[in-house]
A and B are shown apart, each in its own frame.
Chain A
């Protein structure tokens, strides 16, 4: 058994497995279905921002501990960690929505740039890695819980910007579509 045997047989098996996965698993949805349902999935977590901010306030836990309720303080801390996790999940939802939108744009466009798509893929991989890393740290309580409050500022600033960007992109897409229809009509 030499090096080339292991490499080539490994690649052959891996490709076969990948092919089996691609052949025997179905698509989640069709692009057109996603485009139709896209409008229904708005960023809703922003409306809970005030409550989240309040929930992540560290002084409450300190207060409970000084008053002699350590078990209650721990429970509150645990619940707040869950809130942080949910917030992190919301961030991922925003990210996925944007990726989804980018895919629909690419499918509907007559000219797709390889560089842009590769960059998008790279960002998705980076995001996925970081998300799982932070998720694991929060889940196992490795991250210092007093730092969770910073999450609130982070997500709030971003979500507002994201919503503005998504709505702007949506408007542009509609305008572009209308422009395209007019062009087609004029040509025929």
Chain B
């Protein structure tokens, strides 16, 4: 961020700043009220809610920067993010229904699941259209997503395996989460140490009317090929 990246990635900068503030705040609250107090519980989860929201904005910003030269694909990615988030939110809500004791942990896992799915969806989209994304953005997206995957596994595996056996379950959960986050921060520091890729001019060189005309026609051709292929299969089936 010292290299002036905060001008290009303000939401990511805000997210990192909020994380630092969260750590400082929780340190003082834990120190003052104790780690297992109500105040610590409320402060930890509320500050977490704020930072995860900032994380969403930071991730959308990174995807936007990665696809800034491809207006059409960015529009597609944006809709895909919304669609995956909506579908996964419903699925997660249904999966966690009725389990009040673990509501917060399920909410945390649900958030990370939605986040990871949406990010992987965008990365798949980028791969599908064979768009070359700068190393910095690739690393940021991959680490954000991998952290979420680790959190899904931690929330699931630790709850199921360690909770019944160890009293210090919460401490182990916090320690492993913290360690994985430190790894992510180290990778970010390495990635952001390098300059950000220059913003290339818009790649959209075709008027949108061309796509509107040609895309349905291509799909028609693809459909025709499919039908022909299926026809071949049926012809063979009918042969004596």
Contact = CB atoms under 8 A, between A and B. Distances in A.
The reply to whether chain A is a binding partner of chain B is yes
Interface of A: 1-2, 4-5, 7-9, 11-13, 15-16, 18-19, 22-23, 27-31, 34, 91, 94-95, 98-99, 101-103, 105-114, 116-117, 119-121, 123-124, 126-127, 130-131, 133-134, 137, 143-144, 146-147, 150-151, 154-155, 157-158, 161-162, 165, 169, 172-173, 176-177, 179-181, 183
B206 to A, nearest CB: 5
A172 B174 CA distance: 59
Contacts of B240: 144
20 contacts: A2-B160, A8-B152, A15-B116, A16-B146, A22-B124, A27-B132, A31-B131, A102-B218, A102-B222, A106-B72, A106-B73, A106-B76, A111-B208, A116-B215, A126-B226, A147-B236, A162-B225, A169-B218, A176-B206, A183-B207
Instruction: In the A-B complex, list the 8 residue pairs whose CB atoms are closest, starting with the nearest.
Output: A176-B210, A109-B211, A112-B72, A110-B204, A12-B152, A111-B208, A147-B239, A8-B156
Given A107-B73, A127-B226, A147-B235, A22 B210 contact: no
Contacts of B197: none
A161 to B, nearest CB: 7
Interface of B: 70-73, 75-76, 79-80, 83, 95, 109, 113, 116-117, 120, 123-124, 127-132, 138, 142, 145-146, 148-150, 152-153, 155-157, 160, 202-219, 221-226, 228-233, 235-236, 239-240
Given A117-B76, A177-B206, A180-B205, A107 B233 contact: no
A181 B205 CA distance: 8
B147 to A, nearest CB: 11
Contacts of A155: 228
A105 B215 contact: yes
Classify the interface of chain A: helix, strand, loop or mixed.
helix
B130 A29 contact: yes
A112 B74 CA distance: 9
Contacts of A179: 207
A11 B225 contact: no
Contacts of B127: 22, 27
Most A CB atoms within 10 A — which of B76, B217, B240? B76
Contacts of A107: 70, 72-73, 129-131, 203
Contacts of A146: 239
A22 B76 contact: no
A121 B131 CA distance: 17
